[in-house]
């Protein structure tokens, strides 16, 4: 990684791209500190910290670099664009018109990108309305600080600011993708998570210094060592793959001989990446978030619905962790089916005169590939379950309350399971992009 960065700075064109990327990231981080004038930032931060849906809201806040909790203009961050991109990818698989558009080359991709932008803005409006209405209805003393007192004008003004900020972040991500290095959306999420982790670690160190509890410095050291170990584990699994040998028979066409090569089909252990954890966490936390925000005062037979749900089905319960593991398993297989189609792969192998040694062409090949893919997906799902559950318990144990609750080291807010995977995945992606660009520059120099 460091050697790649060193070589990248030696090439002028790549060096310029890196500086452009850093400049755009700086603009993004400046926006993360500009507050929305209509929001009471202290009450909003307190509500997110004490909410029963704090795991879900904490994840959103960490992805946005703390912008959501601090009520800044970039509070929605890149999330609407990410959601729109995922929705468009899924719709492309089921809507023939979008599928044809995706196969029309550059013109088709530009049309899809424009549709994705529109969907992102619509989702941004919906999410902004949800944030404003939810927090206004759940906090009686939540006031919009404007010169005029009309609440609806204040709400509309807030929604416009949040949507404009999200659109600005989307524009910055596209500029990073176009003029910088790697994918802009991934880099913005990467920076946001690292910023949240750095702030949390700095606050924890500040708490220890102010309280004089220097013995708990070992908690910080232990936390850093565990994070590094988890990073190594994620990198190891991320690079793991099952290689299925494919042999192509020799063919004589005219006076030339083709084929006779041996290659392989790589099937990654964690081919679906972080998406199963994101979808599983969002889905399982959504009912709790809705109940806690909109039905916090609702009662059934004298029992508060929000309190009952949080106690028996909410975050931290056995039912929650079991459901999370099952959802991760289900979404892992769902993504595996989208990304790898054994029938198409088998058809392409047979079309080009290839075969898997010991397996007949046609349906036996597709059945063999499907069986291998299902087994690999199971191991990938187990890996995601471990990453989603184990760090949660370990970080919670290192955090805890010390000195009779005098202070709490909130390590579990620094890196979530999703954050760990995202940081490693994006770092590896950036490294691969830099290596490929360096290699292309070397090839151009050779051709000249």
Query: For 15-42, what is the mean pLDDT?
Result: 84
Please compute the mean of the pLDDT values over residues 40-65 and round it to a whole number.
62
pLDDT band at 346 (very low <50, low <70, confident <90, very high): confident
- Co-location of 64 and 123 in the same domain: yes
pLDDT confidence tier of residue 425, bands split at 50, 70 and 90: confident
Higher-scoring residue by pLDDT: 39, 148 = 39
What percentage of the chain carries pLDDT values higher than 70?
Answer: 73
Same domain, 237 and 191: no
Q: For residues 89 and 222, state if they share a domain.
A: no
For residue 348, give the nearest of 340, 374, 89 by alpha carbon. Answer: 340
Residues 293-327 pLDDT 10s: 566 566 666 666 767 777 777 766 788 888 888 88
Same domain, 35 and 128: yes
Q: How confident is the model at residue 89 (pLDDT cuts 50, 70, 90)?
A: confident
pLDDT beyond 80 at 375: yes
Residue 430 lies in a domain: no
pLDDT above 70: residue 144: no
Q: Are residues 310 and 366 in the same domain?
A: yes
The answer on pLDDT for 343 being more than 70 is yes
If asked whether residues 170 and 87 sit together in one domain, one would say yes
Are 182 and 239 members of one domain? no
Residue 446 lies in a domain: no
Q: What percent of the chain has pLDDT over 90?
A: 1
Mean pLDDT across 254-278: 74
Number of helices followed by number of strands (H, E) in the chain: 17, 9
Q: Give the per-residue pLDDT at 302.
A: 63
Residue, of 409 and 69, whose pLDDT is higher: 69
Domain final position from 197, 223, 254: 197
Q: Tell whether 246 and 320 lie within a shared domain.
A: yes
User: 198-235, pLDDT tens digit by residue?
Assistant: 777 777 777 777 777 676 677 778 778 888 888 888 88
**111-120, 273-282, 290-299, 325-334: range with lowest mean pLDDT:** 290-299
What pLDDT sits at residue 182? Answer: 76
Cα(360)–Cα(432) distance, integer angstroms: 36
Return the pLDDT at 48.
62
Q: How long a stretch of residues is the chain?
A: 448
What pLDDT does 53 receive?
Answer: 45
Task: Give the model's confidence band at 416: pLDDT under 50 very low, under 70 low, under 90 confident, else very high.
Answer: low
Mean pLDDT across 392-408: 57
Q: What CA dihedral angle connects 32, 38, 42 and 43, to 10 degrees?
A: -130
pLDDT at 403: 43
Q: What is the total count of domains within the chain?
A: 2
pLDDT band at 398 (very low <50, low <70, confident <90, very high): low
Pairwise CA distance, residues 361 & 351, whole Å: 10
Query: Residue 52: pLDDT above 50?
Result: no
Sequence-distant (6+) residues with CB within 8 A of 43 are: 139, 141, 142
pLDDT, one tens digit per residue, over 95-127 is 888 878 877 777 888 888 888 889 889 888 888
Q: Domain boundary at 173, 197, 221, which?
A: 197
Cα–Cα distance, 151 to 149 (Å, whole number): 6
Residue 269 has pLDDT above 80, yes or no: yes
Cβ atoms of 153 and 146 within 8 Å: the answer is yes
Please calculate the CA angle 151-153-156 and round it to the nearest 5 degrees.
110
**Is pLDDT of 432 > 60?**
yes
pLDDT digits (tens, 9 = 90+) for 165-199: 889 988 998 888 888 887 788 788 888 888 877 77
> Is the pLDDT score of 395 beyond 80?
no
Q: Please check whether residues 177 and 252 belong to one and the same domain.
A: no
pLDDT at 399: 60
Mean pLDDT of 45-65: 61
Q: Is there a domain that residue 431 lies in?
A: no
Q: Is residue 91 assigned to a domain?
A: yes
Domain identity same for 148 and 252: no
Asked if residue 205 is part of any domain, the answer here is no
Per the domain annotation, does 448 fall within a domain?
no
List the domain range (segments joined by +) for residue 180: 1-197
Q: How confident is the prediction for the chain on average, in pLDDT? A: 75
Distances (CA, A) of 197 to 73, 121, 185, 193, 342: 20, 28, 19, 6, 41
Q: According to the model, what pLDDT value does residue 259 have?
A: 59
CA distance readout (Å), 287 to 209, 284, 439:
39, 7, 49
Q: 247-261, 280-294, 316-330: which has the highest mean pLDDT? A: 316-330
Asked if 119 and 146 sit in the same domain, the reply is: yes
309 domain residue, yes or no: yes
Query: What CATH number has the domain bearing residue 330?
Result: 1.10.3370.10
Is the pLDDT at 443 greater than 50, yes or no? yes
Say whether pLDDT at 148 is over 50.
Answer: no
Q: Is residue 433 part of a domain?
A: no
Pair 142, 227 in one domain: no
């Amino acid at each position: 990684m460091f050697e790649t960065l060193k070589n990248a700075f030696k090439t002028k064109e790549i060096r310029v791209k890196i500086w452009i990327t850093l400049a755009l990231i700086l603009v993004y981080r400046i926006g993360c500190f500009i507050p929305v004038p209509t929001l009471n930032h202290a009450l909003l931060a307190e509500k997110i910290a004490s909410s029963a849906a704090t795991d879900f809201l904490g994840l959103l806040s960490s992805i946005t670099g703390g912008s959501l909790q601090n009520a800044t203009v970039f509070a929605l961050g890149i999330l609407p664009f990410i959601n729109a991109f995922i929705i468009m990818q899924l719709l492309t698989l089921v809507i023939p018109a979008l599928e044809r558009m995706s196969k029309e080359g550059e013109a088709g991709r530009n049309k899809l990108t424009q549709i994705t932008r529109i969907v992102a803005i619509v989702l941004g409006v919906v999410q902004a309305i949800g944030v404003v209405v939810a927090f206004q209805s759940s906090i009686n003393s939540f006031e919009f600080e404007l010169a005029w007192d009309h609440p609806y004008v204040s709400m509309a003004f807030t929604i416009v600011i949040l949507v404009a900020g999200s659109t600005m972040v989307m524009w910055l991500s596209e500029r990073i993708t176009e003029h910088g290095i790697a994918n802009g959306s991934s880099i913005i999420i990467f920076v946001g998570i690292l910023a949240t982790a750095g702030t949390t670690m700095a606050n924890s160190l500040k708490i220890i210094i102010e309280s004089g509890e220097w013995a708990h410095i070992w908690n910080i050291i232990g936390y850093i060592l565990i994070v590094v170990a988890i990073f190594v584990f994620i990198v190891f699994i991320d690079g793991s793959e099952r290689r299925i040998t494919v042999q192509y028979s020799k063919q004589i066409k005219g006076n030339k001989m083709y084929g006779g090569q041996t290659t392989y089909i790589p099937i990654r252990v964690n081919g679906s990446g972080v998406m199963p954890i994101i979808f599983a966490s969002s889905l399982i936390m959504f009912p709790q978030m809705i109940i806690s925000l909109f039905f916090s005062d609702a009662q059934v037979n004298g029992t508060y619905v929000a309190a009952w749900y949080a106690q028996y089905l909410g975050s931290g319960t056995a039912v929650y962790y079991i459901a999370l593991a099952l959802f991760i398993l289900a979404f892992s297989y769902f993504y595996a089916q989208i990304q790898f189609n054994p029938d198409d792969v088998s058809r392409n192998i047979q079309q080009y005169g290839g075969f898997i040694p010991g397996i007949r062409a046609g349906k036996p090949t597709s059945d063999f590939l499907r069986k291998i893919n299902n087994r690999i997906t199971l191991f990938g799902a187990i890996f995601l379950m471990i990453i989603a559950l184990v760090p949660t318990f370990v970080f919670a144990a290192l955090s805890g309350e010390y000195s009779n609750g005098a202070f709490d080291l909130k390590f579990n807010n620094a890196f979530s399971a999703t954050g760990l995977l995202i940081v490693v995945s994006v770092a590896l992606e950036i490294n691969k992009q830099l290596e490929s660009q360096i290699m292309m520059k070397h090839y151009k120099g050779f051709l000249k």
